[in-house]
Structure 1
Amino acid sequence: METTVKNKQVILRNYVKGIPKESDLMIVTASDPVELKVKPGSAAVMVKNLYLSCDPYMGILMREPTPSTLALLDAFIPGKPIAGIGVSQVIDSDDPSFTKGDMIWGIVNWEEYSTINPAGIFKIDVNVNVPLSYYTGILGMIGLTAYAGFYEICSPKKGETCVCLCGFCAGSKQKVDLLLKKFGYDDAFNYKEEPDLDSALKRCFPKGIDIYFENVGGKMLDAVLLNMKPYGRIAVCGMISQYHLETRDRLQNLPDIIFKKIRMQGFAVYDFIDRFPKFLEFVLPYIKEEKLTYVEDIVEGLENGPAALVGLLHGQTLVSKFSRLLESEEIYHVSCMDM
């Protein structure tokens, strides 16, 4: 039986400025072979990575760290593999909570095999009849982020108007058509074609907005503030339009937070990691009853992982981006949720 293997990895060349390029990442085979056993007493887990998630926040971690970004997560290290949410299969374990063959999800390096600290990883119940790739998206950090921001922070009430920009607003006709025809939204618009975002929001939400799930920032947030109702709530989990700007947009309408008594709260999904079992209990029935629509945009090959990530950061994906490596029985997915 094979005891060592070569390990293909996606490496960050150097810290980036502006929007990352494919050339900022490179595919390498690690010089040292990987032992398929963990050291006794290490409490570590050896896994084979099956699905690797690609998400907007990863672009932040490719930049030279600042005190602000370090408050969120550690930056990637030039010359080392980048990391993200992955679905993996346990090969060997020195932790009694995990045994060979278990399926898990959590933070892993972008590589074929990883030795990980089991703290913060979750065992997947394979008896739940959903694709494993879902744990990089709707059943993983992305789904938990949506649940936490919407239900835990904003506490919606029946009859309120709730807005998520990746839900009614997109950056191309193709994406707008997807929202209207696939996801069944009553209205949607292409923000790149709207000369006046305030007017566009008033057209879609003539009575104003009670709840706003913020993941864009900049001019869109400024326009939303004008359209918020008194005592509105804003959950802020991302501002992708601002991450790669050298000079960020300045907001003009922040006083509306005071005038309208708006509650605006930033959060990271890790703040709500203890809610994950509650989230699964909530969301799985909706998936099984097909009350949630979820799509995955797939590309093949781990070597296409850099293109998938960079394409996401340039707004080239529909909803999810996956990279799949078809060699033997190995399958890699790179996923995201971005409009």
Structure 2
Amino acid sequence: MRPFNYSKAGDPATAVNLVSANPGAKFLGGGTNLVDLMKEDVMHPSELVDITRLKHADIEKTATGVAIGATATNALTANHELIRKNYPLLSMAILAGASVQIRNMATNGGNLNQRTRCTYFYDVNMPCNKREPGSGCGALKGINRNHAIFGWSEKCVAVYPSDMAVALAALDAVVHVEGKNNAKRTIEFADFHRLPGDTPEKDNNLKQGELITSIELPTNDFAERSYYLKIRERSSYAFALVSVAAALSLEGNQIKQVRIALGGVAHKPWRASVAEKWLTGKEATEANFRAAAEAELKNARPLEHNKFKVAMAKKAITRALQGAMQGGVYGLEG
């Protein structure tokens, strides 16, 4: 690990000013991803600004839903009464990720800022445009079994690893951030993370020094019919090959609203808007779930070694929607 400066911020303005003034500075929350990357010499910030003392750990009702603080831990969020009761999809997605020890340390803001788990990104001896822009994408023609089938570019085929973020995408979350001079703005979750395009080194649309303060979840009717399905290669502590966050709101057996988001298939949580549009207004049947999944995956572009993800994603969407119909919240396969 390379030398770096370390400081603790007592308030948001101080934290923002320190990181804004130094392009090599990073915020430090739980550090469960950043510190690992520093140990591997993948990332080497010149300064870390500790934000764990900031008062952004509350989880509370708002006029339009529930706000979860950026420095609240994943474990606290998943087990909070407001989340378990009103947003079980988020609770179960968080519990599907990482280990108990990591969930006890990892923060919500840090979860959104985590980097890809692509092996070429982690191996400093291999080319990676995300780690070193202009060096090439080793996975494009290399071993790409775990990589993207949607939204990739010639510059990067990596996938975004978070389970939590897949649920947030399905729940239409809004990210609140604070920048210099107390400037505050909100970012729709669909616009928070980026597809790689020509700048894969940019994971999201935060500006240097902008601090996530909270994530807001709008009120919805999905609590009774939500399901998170994660398919992975082993039964614990593994990232998704494909995951699906599914939620339904019905009138009788007719689908009033539907939300579907996929993980493990793109550079960002992939909102299955084609499938959602196809299902809205139709009967909630297995045949319709299968047809919607087929429609969504028509636009998939698998790589040499991950063609299996297309069939897997179709089945996963169907099974997740069936799970939501049955009032379940969690499925896990290894």
| TM-score greater than 0.5 by the shorter chain | no
Shorter-normalised TM range: under 0.3
Q: Which has the larger radius of gyration?
A: 1
TM-score calculated relative to the size of structure 2? 0.28
